[in-house]
Amino acid sequence: MTKIFLGVFIPALVWCAVTPAGVAEVFSAPAKIVWVENGWFEEGLAFKVEPQSGVAGCPTSDDEFSLEASREDFYLISSMILTAFSTGANVIVTIHDTGDCAFGGRNKVESVKLVK
């Protein structure tokens, strides 16, 4: 029982401990994904939402996001993005901070939430 308890809660505690203090998380408004593409400049996934997300700070428009394939959770988040695209579900995209850009000058995705 102790091993299960530690296995479940220690990763969450470590994540909180290594998250830099003062890093702002910015949430987009709920929106639909209108296109998805592979990375042209690096390996990954890029997508666009409508209406515009209200997240600004990178060279591209504030409705484009990118997810780098080097992330450990790439397959989880990309499957959520593709599910939202194919079903027409609304998404709320979280980024670390405005101006934290990934490939193609797009806003770097931290997490995605699907909303009915």
Residues 71-116: tens digit of each pLDDT = 999 999 999 999 999 999 999 998 877 777 888 888 889 999 999 8
Residue 2 lies in a domain: no
Would strands 106-108 and 64-68 be described as parallel, antiparallel, or unpaired? parallel
Residue 45 lies in a domain: yes
Q: For residue 71, what are its two tokens?
A: 């992330």
Block residue for tokens 């029982």: 1
Residue 59 lies in a domain: yes
Residue 13 lies in a domain: no
Q: Residue 13's pLDDT band (boundaries 50, 70, 90)? A: very low
Instruction: Report the pLDDT value the prediction gives residue 20, as an integer from 0 to 100.
Output: 46
Which residues on neighbouring strands pair with residue 106, listed in sequence order?
102
Residue 49 lies in a domain: yes
Residue 71 lies in a domain: yes
Q: Which domain holds residue 70?
A: 23-115
> Of 63 and 76, which is predicted with more confidence?
76
Provide the strand spans (E) within 13-100.
26-27, 31-38, 44-50, 64-68, 90-95
**Structural domain count of the chain:** 1
Residue 103 lies in a domain: yes
